[in-house]
Chains A and B, each alone.
Chain A
Amino acid sequence: MSEAIINLMSISLDEVRNVAQLARLELSESELMSFQTQLNSLLGHFEDIQHLDVTGLPAKPHAVAMQNVFAADKVHISLPRDAALANSAETKAGLFIVPTIIEE
């Protein structure tokens, strides 16, 4: 446990770079350094719950738990295609244009 805490508390610049990649955020070197400081400060603060004994406590993912909420199997009028496309930076022939994913 104590070892885990030490590991949790110190994030290297490379780890920050990796998290930014996972989060799909392009960050400048100065941003990376600033986030390293802020993340370490926040995560250091978060250490308090690491000392709490939570053995056997159920996790609570919702404010008010509900189960099996089904929608009626009915056809609804959905968003017209033009309306769905209207806010996009790039569209063509009724489709969203995205950067090339598979090269020819």
Chain B
Amino acid sequence: MFILNPQSGIPIYRQILEQVRRMVASGQLPPGTALPSVRDLALRHTINPMTISRAYSILETEGLLERHRGRPMTVASQAKNHSQLPKRLQQIGPLVEQTVVAAKQLELSEAELVKAVRREWEQDDE
């Protein structure tokens, strides 16, 4: 369910955080969906279980996940509303920044970049 790369410079718990956030925000993980247990995930990816529980705990305090006694964690029912617009914008901030830097290096104008973004957006919607 996750794509995890232990060798990456991005800590594993962050990789999980970002992927869960993205999948919840995009609706790929609708509210109520059960997540794999820490143990399963650790064994499947051969990674330290503490790292995974750390990511799950952060997601829980963010309100994205809900913990249940004796059952797997699930995506919180109001998870989608919970993620307010400023927060979501903040999340995409670094990506936008990178894109803008790259565009400047390629000597693209602002309008050209916006146009490219729009084209990509519409293609994805189809």
A binds B: no
User: What is B's interface to A at a CB cutoff of 8 Å?
Assistant: none
Q: Report which A residues bind B (CB closer than 8 A).
A: none
